[in-house]
Amino acid sequence: MLIVTDVAKSYGPQELFSGASFQINPRERVGMVGRNGHGKTTLLRLITGREEPDEGKIEFSKGYRVGYLEQHLTFAQPTILDEAALGLMPGAEHESWRAEKILRGLGFGSRDLTRAASEFSGGYQSRIHLARVLVSEPDLLILDEPTNYLDITALRWLQRFLATWPRELLLVTHNRNFMDGVVTHVVGIHRQKVRKFPGDTQQYYNLILQEEEVFESTRQKEERKRAHAERFITRFRAKARLAGMVQSRVKMLEKQDRKEKLTALESLEFSFTSLSFAAKVMLGVDDLTFGYHLEKKPLIDGLTFHIGRGDRIGVVGPNGRGKTTLLRLLAGELQPWSGSIRPHPTLTTAYYGQTNIDRLQAQRNVVEEILTASPDVTPQRARDLAGAMLFSGDHALKPISVLSGGERARVLLGKLLATPAHMLLLDEPTNHLDLESCDSLLGAIDSFDGAVVMVTHNEMLLEALATRLIVFDRGAITSYEGPYREFLERVGWEEDSDDSHACIIAPDDDDPPVRRMSRKERAKFVQDRARALRPLQQKVDDLEAAVAAAEQELNEVNAALVDASGSGDGEQIAELGRRAHELTPQIESSYAALDAATTALEAETANWPEPL
């Protein structure tokens, strides 16, 4: 159990919060929310002991273990499986299957497990660290933005994993759908106060809105009563026969605390500027093929689609399959190997790319950087856009070099707003934005009159906005003519297979053609496969949980035996010895059952090969 009591923290004149008191009880999964800069990361650092509070105290139950996803990445083991297995609890060092299961869920294939961590990108290295924390099975698991480097399939796996987390969880993420699918409670940092509520983020924000509406209504009512009393006092102060009534009202006003009007919180409020476009088709893509290495299979092969006025196209799929590359091709930053990209002659495009943040000039300030977006941007317009991106007053003159990643993302958004366009190309635009800013972005995209092509793993945005999809999955790129929810119901994502992240080998030209399943047939196949595999998978999960529980109990019994031996309590020693004697064959039996169940699951899975 975690208990936070009257904690306060300030940096100079800036007070983040005061009087913070809450506790996380057994099996509670808590999401922490609050605007960027309001103290979420600071509160996590206080809880993990990396900083000290100015006031108050933070306490844990005796022997309570806390697992925290570190931002500084270090690796010393020869393989990523060895790295993840470092997190295994004492006594479980040889149960590497636990680490392997988590690595597989986070998107690593069987061939990846024997590779060194240095061979992977920074995003995948973060996943290795995440696996190490998850496999350590702490009493309190603390995750600060674990979704930043996960693709959509890994996100969906992690959400399911955390939703069944058997101990305590404290989660910070900008992905509202992800958080609401996991948490049982919300801790909110709002107006320098920290409070805990049951429910998800929607219930939390509704409650905060209701409370502030009631506060404002009460404040206005009290102000009207105060004004009435003050008029009475002024009017009748000189009349002797009303002196008692006047004095009564004076005393009432002296006792009454005056409610101050709530200050408006800074919010990221903006809209994209769209140019009118008369033609029906903005851009056509025909038989597009591209790769980075001529000797390897193309990353994009034979892709054909068009972008029409008003389209909202979601580009979705696991990382490393070519989603960002497709946007760079559409933006003209890369040239196809073959095929064509045919923009309308009058088309103007605005591109927000993941790597574009690194292209901001460190020596410029925020206003100067926004000014470079378009020759038509005036200094006043740049100032206004900086303010819309929460860089008001002197903050608009801060150099890029001192800005955080989230602040640089807002500068890049400001530059995008300064560029009137027919079409927006957005690559992971919600990264580094808090929940409120994500909501503002959703509204801005929804009201944009032109077309939008967006790479995102945020399923809330996909469900709210996407009318069509370009799907990178199952070793191919397909266009799905329908919304994201329909795609999930009719097609769904490929279940991670043993070689899902291995190289895809093109079939020999002499192989006979194979008929591909229709969308309807594939949907039925996926349902039938899930129906066949689900009970077997559930049995494996139940046995894993039983083994883990029995081993945990045995560790506790052995520890208690040591204590009892030291105190010479013969009766307790005998009782604990009997329990240890019972648990040992029970654990061995469970391992045998787990091995049999896993074999049965693998055999049944082989009967359901991935359809073409």
Instruction: Quick: pLDDT tens for 20-41.
Output: 999 999 999 999 998 877 888 8
Instruction: Give the model's pLDDT for residue 504.
Output: 28
Place of tokens 């470079």: 372
Instruction: Give the model's pLDDT for residue 511.
Output: 31
Query: For the residues 282-303, what does the mean pLDDT come to?
Result: 89
Instruction: Give the model's pLDDT for residue 493.
Output: 80
Instruction: Quick: pLDDT tens for 231-271.
Output: 877 777 777 766 777 778 777 777 777 777 766 666 566 78
Instruction: Assess whether pLDDT exceeds 90 at residue 554.
Output: no
DSSP letters spanning 213-241: HHHHHHHHHHHHHHHHHHHHHHHHTT-GG
Per cent of the chain over pLDDT 90 is 31
Residue 49 falls in which region: left (phi positive, over 0), alpha (psi -120 to 50) or beta: left
Query: For the residues 505-516, what does the mean pLDDT come to?
Result: 34
Q: Of the ranges 82-86, 174-178, 490-494, which one carries the lowest mean pLDDT score?
A: 490-494
- Residue 267's CB: how many other CB atoms inside 10 A? 13
Instruction: Give the model's pLDDT for residue 227.
Output: 81
Tokens representing residue 467 in the block: 């009318």
Nearest-angstrom CA–CA distance, 113 and 119: 11
Instruction: Quick: pLDDT tens for 139-165.
Output: 999 998 888 778 888 888 999 999 999
Query: For the residues 282-305, what does the mean pLDDT come to?
Result: 89
- Mean of the per-residue pLDDT values for the chain? 83
Going by pLDDT thresholds of 50, 70 and 90, the confidence category of residue 435 is: confident
Note if the pTM is more than 0.75: no
The residue count for the chain: 612
CA 164 to chain CA mean position, Å: 17
- Residue 362's CB: how many other CB atoms inside 10 A? 10
Q: Which residue has the higher pLDDT, 219 or 412?
A: 412
DSSP letters spanning 422-435: SEEEEESTTTT--H
Residue of 267, 271, 225, 189 lying closest to 442 (CA atoms): 271
Per cent of the chain over pLDDT 70 is 91
Of the ranges 301-310, 402-411, 545-554, which is most confident? Answer: 301-310
Which residues does 602 contact at the CB level (< 8 Å), separation at least 6? Answer: none
Instruction: Assess whether pLDDT exceeds 50 at residue 105.
Output: yes
Going by pLDDT thresholds of 50, 70 and 90, the confidence category of residue 590 is: confident
Tokens representing residue 424 in the block: 């927006």
Instruction: Assess whether pLDDT exceeds 50 at residue 506.
Output: no
Instruction: Quick: pLDDT tens for 515-525.
Output: 445 555 666 67
